[in-house]
Amino acid sequence: MDSSLIKDLQRILGRENLAWGETERLCYGYDATVAADIVLPEAVAFPQTADQVAQILRLANRVPFFVIPRGAGSGLTGGARPVCGGLVLSTERMNRILAIDSECLQAVVEPGVVTEKLQLEVEKLGLFYAPDPQSRAVCTIGGNLAENAGGPRAVKYGVTRTHVLAAEAVLPQGELVRLGARTVKSVAGYDLLSLLIGSEGTLGVFTQATLRLLPLPRSRRTILAAFYSLEDCTRAVAAVLQAGVLPSALEFMDRAAVNCVEDYQPSGLPREAEAVLLVEVDGSDAQTAEDAALAKAVLEKHGARNLQQADDARSSEALWKARRAAGPALARIAPIKFNEDIVVPINRLPEAVLGIHRIAEKYATRCAIFGHAGDGNLHVNFLSPADNAQKLADVERAVDEMFDLVISLEGSITGEHGVGTTKAKYLPREIGLPVLELMRRIKQTLDPLGILNPGKIFPVAQGD
Amino acid sequence: MDSIREELLRCVRCGTCLSVCPVYQQLQREWAVARGRVALLQAGEKGQATLDRHLRPVMTSCLLCGKCRSACPNQVDTPFLVKTARAHLTAGGEGGANALRRLMRSFLPRRNFSAWVKLARALRPLWAASIPEESGLYLRLMRASGEKIRLPRLAPSFLDESPLPRAPAKIGEAKKLVAVFPGCIERYVRPGATLSQIELLAKAGYTVYVPENLSCCGLAAWSAGEPELARKLFLQNLNQLLAPGSAWPEHIVFNCSSCAYMFRHGGELFADLPQALAGQIAEVGRRSCTLDELLVQLGQAAPAASESSKPRIAWHRPCHLEADVRRPVEILSSLPGACFVELETSGDCCGGGGIFSFLYPGLSQRIGARKKQEALEKKIDYLVTECSGCMIQLEKLFSDSGVVVLALSQAVEKFRTTE
């Protein structure tokens, strides 16, 4: 970026809200994606108002230069990483909770608000913001909207989209628009809000969101169940829902994941079990007591052993701690393909889990699976030493076959992490070329110069 | 360097540190949090960036509070990496450009600490005043802010001038022998904390002594990128406390969590050690404990009811306190002479961070602001802690309010009975 462009950006942002030194550029080239190559941005902007964001995008179209929106940089598919220079637009400084409306059960927030911070604030008022991505202590609402983030509670409460009533966003050419309405219902025209949510920062930058809140559930109970057959365990998932229990979380860990957790942080999980399920129910005290009893009966009928139940926050936390340790425990042993994120209809879970284990066996790679089984979303980790080229190629092939399997089971190659750069090459396989072309046309219409978050979602053409 | 490289590679960029870093939460820039600092050190290690003047603020603006290390899924030891980077910065620093080195030279003992203190006392009227804005030291230290440095006021009479219990002649026969280690702040600023500590331990049935010829623990030197000096001080103390051929104290008891931290982690300063010395270092670490760890065995009275007439006391947990974090709370809430009040911000960093508060006084006060607000809202009379660095910072933080800062030893001594 030349000095006149830097001056223009400084005029928009104020001197202190633009950084272009090497130190800052080195710190805004990465996110939480496991990837070897880091491409540095040319500068980093820290806007504080929607108007500044709009001015930056108008300038970007005039000059032109690329703009890469970034929340907390906790994404796992490279969504916030520059791939060809440009300006990283960080929403870190737009971090105010503007209103919490207890009457209408709504919150109005800026994009840089950390998800957990919002949750803690609304809980003080007896309210509840349900979406709970595992990175909620770090990730921001803007990033959650851009990625349409999920989390364990999605099985009952749905993903981020379900909880966004309205949003303000700057479109790629710099128009500031408001989408949606402050009501639960609204069918006025195309649902453009849904188009922008989950567009991974390629169609707009969120500058404000009106979020739907719920009454805070009064009671929670958690059950840990061990299974000695993978098939029994995965069948039990659909059975719990069929029996009329809608859990607020239904989590799965296979034997390899359990053992990784126990090696990392002994939590009393049964190492010899083939898999475990963690079932949480929430609601009124009477409701959760009834649901927990029903869920336990169903789990036992499907072969669960050693059931443990936690009826208060402290003992429940102990059970959850083990589940939450799965990610870090696996990251520690440095797998090369960390945390793939697939999703299948829940009645296909047995085929998916057994199939993935077979693929791992075929390529002689270790594999650990955990995830949000209640909504069919699994995180698959092929564990392999990073220094072995042959193994690396094998893991690539295993991932490839896994995606074929998932698609054949009518599932999806990403449940909550997004496509970003790391899954772009697999996207056409799932959605087909006509739909991919439709998406390209939408992108082309809104962003003719391809300014906003280039290199994401769409596969790079062969030979590029 | 291999261990450094491995440590750097353990960071998977998940960003968990963003949620706990007190400095990041104020500055909201990636370079001010562990993930960014590690990324920069990695880039430096690969030769993509140089440890030049741009990296200096990155490395000096860390509190070394260790909150990132505790929260990190992979326990990346960023404080250790920052200390190592600081050592490189001080080693490579040229002429007058190096604020850290100058700070060290000005404030820390080189050879003869007591001579330095005598000089300081002679100059006490000057010392107690703020450093004038025109001074070179001020200009070098205060990059961005226009605030004045406030230094702690020296005590009218130093610890060494009080009669102290020394090692018993027949050391082998002493029952429950414990050595008390007074840190620099206790010796020259707050001798009362150590005197109360000696008193309490004696009442608890310990044979207490203060070894002679102790030095500064060395943590400040290590933090400021002077590992050579830190090693020297650490070994000096080691030899005084665990002298070969004499009986060793069962415990070495600290009023200051940071000094205790140094004694437990000093071994990290040494790459290769002869086996005998390694054993001695492990031994000194094993025997080191903060006062609360022994006090809990005193068996205090049952918790007092919250009577409004009693003084209201609260607890500030030092980042360097490694013992069971509930112990001090149990001790304080069992004191009959006071009414203990829980603070939500009890475990938040006070913003002191040793020399951090001298380099970045404004930022350091902002980090402590939430704690101050809560303590004032809850009408706290006494804020109790167990770290001399925190005490200095808390006194600065609360200087314009009526809140009195006490060492744990002083609080227990003061409130152990109803008056």
Q: Are residues A158 and A234 in the same domain?
A: no
Residue of B nearest to A137 (CA): B19
| Residue B315 per-residue DSSP state | E
A-chain residues near B14 (CB < 8 A)? 32, 74, 135, 138, 328, 331
**pLDDT of residue B232 exceeding 70:** yes
Nearest to B73 among A19, A34, A328 (CB): A328
| B6, B9, B13, B42, best to mutate vs chain A, most A CBs in 10 Å | B13
Residue appearing with tokens 């979380």: A249
User: Are the Cβ atoms of B15 and A93 closer than 8 angstroms?
Assistant: no
| Shortest distance, CA B165 to any CA of chain A (angstroms) | 45
* End residue of a domain, out of A393, A408, A423: A408
Half-sphere exposure of A305 (CA within 13 A, CB side): 11
Q: For residue B15, give the nearest of A21, A23, A138 by CB distance.
A: A138
Tally A–B CB contacts below 8 A: 74
Residue A418 in domain: no
- The distance of Cα B345 from the centroid of its chain, to the nearest Å, equals 18
- Structurally, how many domains does chain A consist of? 4
Q: Which fold has domain B299-415?
A: Rossmann fold (3.40.50)
Pairing label, strands B288-290, B312-315: unpaired
Residue of B nearest to A37 (CA): B43
Task: Please list every residue in chain A whose beta carbon sits closer than 8 Å to the beta carbon of residue B48.
Answer: 26
Are A285 and A341 in a shared domain? Answer: no
Where is A97: in which H helix or E strand? Answer: strand A97-101
User: What 3-state DSSP class applies to B381?
Assistant: coil
Residue of A21, A72, A332 lying closest to B18 (CB–CB): A72
The pLDDT value given to residue B221: 84
Q: Would you state the pLDDT for residue B145?
A: 38
- In chain A, which residues touch B (CB < 8 A)? 19, 21-24, 26-28, 30-34, 46, 72-74, 92-93, 95, 114, 116, 135, 137-139, 325, 327-329, 331-332, 338
CATH architecture of B159-295: Up-down Bundle (1.20)
Structural domain contains residue A279:
yes
In chain B, which residues have their Cβ closer than 8 Å to the Cβ of A92? 28-29
Instruction: Give the closest-approach CA distance of A166 to chain B in angstroms.
Output: 27
pLDDT of residue A39 exceeding 70:
yes
Residue B130: what pLDDT?
A: 36
Q: Is pLDDT at B170 greater than 80 in this prediction?
A: no
CB contact under 8 A, A328 and B40: no
In a domain, A452, yes or no: no
What is the per-residue pLDDT across A273-285, written as a single tens digit (0 to 9) for each?
999 999 999 999 9
Q: Is residue A358 part of a domain?
A: yes
Identify the pLDDT of residue B306: 54
Decide if A357 is inside a domain.
Answer: yes
Chain A residues with CB-CB distance to B26 below 8 A: none
Residues B2-21 as b or e (16 or more Cβ within 10 Å = b)? eeeeebbebbbbbbbbbbbb
Which two three-digit tokens encode residue A373?
């089984």
pLDDT in tens, A112-153: 999 999 999 999 999 999 999 999 999 999 999 999 999 999
Minimal CA separation from A186 to chain B, in Å: 36
Mind telling me how many Å the CA of A437 is from chain B's nearest CA?
Answer: 33
Find the closest chain A residue to B76 by CA distance: A332
Is there a domain that residue A302 lies in? Answer: yes
Residue B173's pLDDT is what? Answer: 65
CATH of the domain at A113: 3.30.465.10
Same domain, A279 and A323: yes
Q: How far is A328 from chain B (nearest CA, A)?
A: 5
* Cβ-based contacts of B58 with chain A (< 8 Å): 23
Contact assignment for B19 to A23 by CB distance below 8 Å: no
pLDDT given for residue A462 in this prediction: 55
Looking at residue B74, its amino acid is N
A299 plus A224 within the same structural domain: yes
The rounded mean pLDDT for chain B is: 82
CB-closest option in A30, A72, A135 to B39: A30
Q: Which residues of B touch A95 (CB under 8 A)?
A: 28
CATH code, domain carrying A79: 3.30.43.10
Is pLDDT at A237 greater than 80 in this prediction?
A: yes
Q: What is the pLDDT of residues A58-74, one digit of tens each?
A: 999 999 999 999 999 99
Q: What is the pLDDT of residues A222-231, one digit of tens each?
A: 999 999 999 9
> Is residue A234 domain-shared with residue A320, that is, in the same domain?
yes
Q: How far is A204 from chain B (nearest CA, A)?
A: 23
The partner residues of A206 in beta bridges, in order of sequence, read: A169
DSSP bridge partners of B384: B315, B406
Hey, what are A432's tokens? 């087909």
Predicted TM-score (pTM) of the model is 0.89
CB contact under 8 A, A24 and B30: yes
The minimal CB distance from B31 to the residues A27, A137, A139 is found for A27
> How far apart are the CA of B51 and the nearest CA of chain A, in angstroms?
10
- Rounded to a whole number of angstroms, the distance from the CA of B7 to the nearest CA of chain A is 12
Same domain for A139 and A161: yes
pLDDT of res. B56:
78
Tokens of A136: 């909620």
Residue in A24, A34, A328 closest to B74 by CB: A328
Give the separation between CA B178 and CA A251, rounded to whole angstroms: 51
Residue B144 has pLDDT above 80, yes or no: no
> Does any domain span residue A267?
yes
Taking all residues of chain A, what is their mean pLDDT, rounded to a whole number?
Answer: 94
Q: Do A23 and B12 touch (CB under 8 A)?
A: no
Separation CA B79–CA B223 (nearest Å): 9
- Of A408, A426, A452, the domain-final residue: A408
**Where are chain B's structural domains?**
2-92, 97-141, 159-295, 299-415
Instruction: Give the Cα separation of B255 and B289 in Å (integer).
Output: 9
At B418 the pLDDT is: 76
For residue B55, list chain A residues with Cβ-Cβ distance below 8 A.
23
pLDDT at B332 over 70: yes
How distant is the Cα of A31 from the closest Cα of chain B, in angstroms?
A: 6
C-alpha A397/C-alpha B87 separation (Å) is 46
Share of chain B above pLDDT 70, in %: 79
- pLDDT at position B142 over 60: no
State both tokens at B231: 């090693």
Alpha helical stretches, state H, A100-189: 115-123, 141-147, 154-157
Residue B30 with chain A: CB contacts under 8 Å = 24, 27-28, 73
CB contact under 8 A, B15 and A73: yes
Tell me the C-alpha to C-alpha distance, in Å, between residue B203 and each of B190, B196, B199, B294, B419: 21, 11, 6, 12, 19
Q: Flag whether pLDDT at A382 surpasses 80.
A: yes
Residues A209, A229, single domain; the answer is no
pLDDT digits (tens, 9 = 90+) for B361-378: 899 999 999 999 999 999
* Residue with the larger pLDDT of the pair B148 and A214: A214
Nearest to B40 among A27, A92, A328 (CB): A27
Residues of B with CB under 8 A from a CB of A: 10, 12-16, 18-19, 28-31, 36, 39-40, 43, 48-49, 54-55, 58, 73-74
**CA dist., res. B215 & res. B212, Å (int):** 9
| CATH no., domain B2-92 | 1.10.1060.10
Same-domain status, A160 and A237: no
φ/ψ bin of A280: left (φ > 0), alpha (ψ from -120 to 50), beta (otherwise): beta
Range of the domain at A380: 334-408
Q: What is the pLDDT of residues B119-136, one digit of tens each?
A: 555 544 443 333 333 333
User: Do A331 and B19 make contact, defined as CB atoms within 8 angstroms?
Assistant: no
| Eight-class DSSP state of A114 | B
- Cα Rg of chain B (Å, integer): 21
Kindly tell me if the per-residue pLDDT of A14 is higher than 70.
yes
Separation CA B150–CA B131 (nearest Å) = 8
Q: Based on the domain organization, do A340 and A310 belong to the same domain?
A: no
Q: Among the three residues A66, A90, A114, which one is the final residue of a domain in this structure?
A: A90
Residues A231 and A270 in one domain: yes
Our CA-based measurement puts residue B33 at a distance from the nearest CA of chain A, in whole angstroms, of: 10
For B29-62, what is each residue's pLDDT tens digit?
A: 999 999 999 999 988 888 776 656 677 788 889 9
Residues B302-312: what's their mean pLDDT? 68
Residue A251 lies in a domain: yes
Residues A52, A26 within the same domain: yes
- Cβ distance of A331 and B12 shorter than 8 Å: yes
Which helix or strand (DSSP H or E) is residue B383 part of? Answer: strand B382-385
Residue A258 CB-half CA count within 13 A? 22
By Cβ distance, the residue of B10, B40, B73 closest to A26 is B40
